[in-house]
Structures are given as structure tokens and as C-alpha cells.
Structure 1
Amino acid sequence: MVKPTLTFSLVTVPDVVGLRRLHGLPTDLSDEEVAEYAYQRRRANGAGDSLPPHQQRVVHIAALLRTGDQLRYVSLAGDEADILQAFNALLAEAEQLVEWSRPFGLEVLSAAPILNCRALLWQLAAVPELPMIDLAACLAAPLAPAMLPLHEMATLARLPLRQEMSLDEIWQTFMGGDRERIDVLNTARLLSLHLLWLRYGLLKGQLDSAACLQEFALLRQTLQNSPLAHLQAYLADWSAASD
């Protein structure tokens, strides 16, 4: 029996409300200027282009919950507190979490510290502590997981994920109001991660060939049964690449 698993991918943007408060910035600065101020401070300190976990606001989480004989797709967007609360509810049904940390230069953007910091700031109730598996770290060891971009592994595995949005692209897309594009790209990231996770289970002997094929079939069925256009599009691309 497959262990109840929550595979997920999250998207964050600069917490401009918090950054205004943190740095005492004037109210007439635009959100873009506030974010750029924070990025410039990080660059001046040699910390690169990513903000620390507590300064990032979660704007989307795409997740697949595998329990019993079911696989459920969940897309969480809207207010950050609502996203995190709904995600916590999913955690109660799982026994382990699977993510793929995002490489940004030599830095690695992992979900765990972001989720912990932001949940604490929103005073959310405690949730069970679950094992967090970073598939990038598992595959890249002993190298840094930043050496292993998900979209490159997916492309080599003939999975439909051709790009990863950079921090700046995510921020510009969010500020432009195109939340649907964020949902679509993050979901494609999630689905490719899930398929690589299944292959990893085969690699490590956690799944045999028959069980792995059953999991592939379950994902296909889940996508087929969904009315969402971007899930149907992913399925079509995946099927075409497998031919």
C-alpha cells in the first residue's frame, strides 16, 4: 500500500506589506519599489536575489494528495492565511510531504521554512510534524540541490515542463494580475514532480514496475476526470511525449 503522501509546489512573492513595516518605508512607494528596495539590500549584503523565508508571501500552492486508492488535485490561491489553513488541513491526511526545492543561483528556496514562518505570523494552529522529502536533494546528493533544476530533469525525462519562472518573472506576473498563469505553471511543476517522485520510488525499490504503472494510470485518470483545461493540456502533452 502506498504511504499517504502530499506532493506540493508553492509560489511566493515579496511580502510588500511586511517589508514596508520592517524597513519603515514611506507609503508613497509603489509595491514594485518596495520589493526592489528589499532586493537591493539583499544584493548589497551578497545574499543574491531571493528574500529570506519570513519576507515571502505564499500566493499559490498546487498539491496532489495520495491516500488509499485515491489521488486528489488541489489548487490553493487567494488570501495567504486561507491558503495556509487549507494546506494545513491537507497535512492532516498525509504521512509525508514531497517537494522539489527551487534553485536560484547558488541558493536553494525550500518550502519548509517559508511555510513555518508564514504560518507562525498568521497565528495558525499547530499541525502534525511530517517528514519533508526534498527530491532535488535526494537526487543531487552529495551536491547541492541547486545543481538540479526540476525543468531540466523533467525535459530529459520527456515530461511536459519546459520552464521554471524566475523570481522576477513570478513577481512581474503577479503584479500584472495574471494569477491564472501562475496556477498553470505551478501545476505543471507539481505534476512533473509527482511523476519524477514515482520514478524515484521505482529507483529505490519502494515501488515495483506494476505498482509504478498503476500510479501512472491513477494520475492519468485523475487528469482525465478533471474539467480544468490546464490539467487536460498537461495530460495531452504527457501522452504525446510518451508515444
Structure 2
Amino acid sequence: MLAIALDFLPDVAGLRLLNRLPAELSDVEVAEYAFQRRRAARGSDSLPPHLLRLSGFALFGVQDGQFRLCSQASVDEAGLLGAFLDTCAAAPALACWSEVEARLDALRLRALQAGVGRDGAWPRLNACVPLAAELCRAEAPPALAEVARLAGLPLMRAADEEWQWQRVLAGDWLALQGQIELRALVAWLLQRRQQSLSGLIGQADREADEARLREWLQVQPAPHLQSFAMTWGQSTRR
């Protein structure tokens, strides 16, 4: 099973088109215009799904007996959609936390608008295991970063649209991609713990998987993955 993480940002071109905004407005001004209107109407900055564009994705898990991390972050939305759906179509099963589950409508709409589709991808996405919903059936699902921290996993940045927007404006796609990768990694770890909790796998198997994952992370070239491995387990919470 592969765990999914997604990032979306304001669709500036779409906002310009639908609101007939003047060309002199910068991308930052267009986004702020949309945020202000949304705050006035709904009390939050969150834009409706058809006005969000995919800016990055990550999938992490075990496939064919090996750890697999597939991720991209870029301005090329059509390319991102194609690569993401290709990976989903080849995955045996998918899982996600609530932040991703809430964004699947945006993903469907963006794929529709871009005319990007892949055979077999959507049945798997439609059957994506909602991890937070299974754990919190009577309450609003908590943030992935908070649950992970309380479970003894390393401190990670919560999904933060303002931070993501600033990274894109700075052209820092690698930082954006790194944070998406960590969210997918943590979602997979919590999914394995949930399977152990449900009796689907034994605790010894889960602990062996975690030990193998630590070793795998330590030899990866990306500094954020090595840092995750080094700080894993330093929390006193279990």
C-alpha cells in the first residue's frame, strides 16, 4: 500500500479569468484578492476545489518488497497530474490522511480541466483508505503532524498553505517537495500502526518494518530524509 500526500495552491490563471482581473495585478495580488473574498464570505482563506491547482505530490510505501518514494513538485500541473495518476494506476492500494481526502475533489476537477486521465487510476483513488476517518469516527480528524508527533515520530511541518505559497513564489520547489515527501512517509507509518492496532499485522512485523525503514532513510541522499531518520524515536511519547 502506498500513502499519498498532495499540495495545492491558488489557480492564479483561473482566478484572473473568472474574475476578469486586470493584467497589471501580480500573482500575489490576485491570490490575496481571492483570499480576502473567501474570508469575507466563509471566514477562511480556503479556496473552492476548482480554483486550486496541483503543485506537488508524493507517494510512499512498499511495492514489490522494496520501499518506494515517488514525488514531484513543479509549475507543470499537467505533467504532475500525469505522473501522479500513472503511479496510482500501478499501485496495489492507496491510503491517505484527512488533508488529502479533502483534496481529492480538487484533484478530480483539475484532471478534468486539464484533460488528463489514466486507466485504472481513479478506481484506486476512489477506494483510497481514509486513515483519519477510520481512527476518529465520531470526531473531526486531527492534523497529521500533531498525531505523528504524539506517536513519537519526528517533528514535521504541518500542511501550511501560506508557507507553500511563499516557497513557490521563491521558486524553491525542492523544499516544497521535501515536505510533501515527509507527509507521505508519516502517513504510511501511521497506516502500518493502524494495521497493527487492528490485528492485520503483528507488532513484531511492524517494528521490523520500522527498523528497515530507518536504515533505508539513513542511506538516502536527501538531507530531510536523513534528518528524519536521525531524530526518529527521540520523543518520549510512543
Classify 1:122/1:57 alpha carbon distance in 2 versus 1 (closer, same or farther; 3 Å): same
Q: Is the 8 A contact 2:156 2:182 kept in 1?
A: no
Match of 2:107 in 1: 115
| Cα pair 2:97 2:187 within 8 Å, conserved | yes
User: What secondary structure, in the 3-state scheme, does the structure 2 residue paired with 1:72 have?
Assistant: strand
- Paired AA for residue 138 in structure 1: E
Displacement after TM superposition at 1:21 (Å): 0.9
Q: Does 1:75 align with 2:66?
A: no
Q: Which residue of 1 aligns with 2:152?
A: 158
SS, match of residue 90 in structure 2: coil
Question: Is the 1:99–1:134 Cα contact (8 Å) retained in structure 2?
Answer: yes
Corresponding residue for residue 220 of structure 1: 214
In the alignment, which residue of structure 1 is the partner of 2:89?
92
The range that moved more, 189-198 or 26-35, is 189-198
Displacement after TM superposition at 1:215 (Å): 2.2
Q: Percent identical across equivalent pairs? A: 38
Runs of 4+ residues deviating >4 angstroms = 239-243
Give the whole-Å Cα distance in 2 for the aligned partners of 1:162 and 1:49: 22
* Structure 2 residue runs without a partner (length 5+): none
- Cα 1:27/1:109, change in 2 over 3 Å: farther
Compute the displacement of 1:242 (Å). 8.0
- What displacement does 1:180 show? 2.3
Sort the Cα spacing of 1:235 and 1:225 in 2 relative to 1 into closer, same or farther, 3 A.
same
Amino acid at match of 2:116: L
Q: Which amino acid aligns with 1:150?
A: L
> What root-mean-square deviation, in Å, do the aligned CA atoms of Structure 1 and Structure 2 show?
2.1
Describe the superposition over 1:172-228 as per-residue Cα deviations: whole angstroms up to 9, x where unpaired. Answer: 222122222212222222222111111011011111122212322342343234222
Q: 1:31 to 1:49 in 2, by over 3 A?
A: same
C-alpha separation in 1, matches of 2:233 and 2:152: 10
SS of equivalent residue, structure 1 residue 231: helix
Report the count of equivalent residues: 232
TM-score scaled by length of structure 1 = 0.87
Letter in 1 for 2:41: N
TM-score (norm 2): 0.89
Please, which runs of 5 or more residues in structure 1 have no aligned partner?
Answer: 103-107
Task: Give the Cα–Cα distance (whole angstroms) in 2 for the partners of residues 28 and 221 of structure 1.
Answer: 52
Task: Please give the alpha-carbon distance, in whole angstroms, between the structure 2 residues aligned to 1:124 and 1:149.
Answer: 30
Counterparts of 2:82 and 2:35, CA distance in 1: 28
Report SS of the residue matched to 2:157: coil
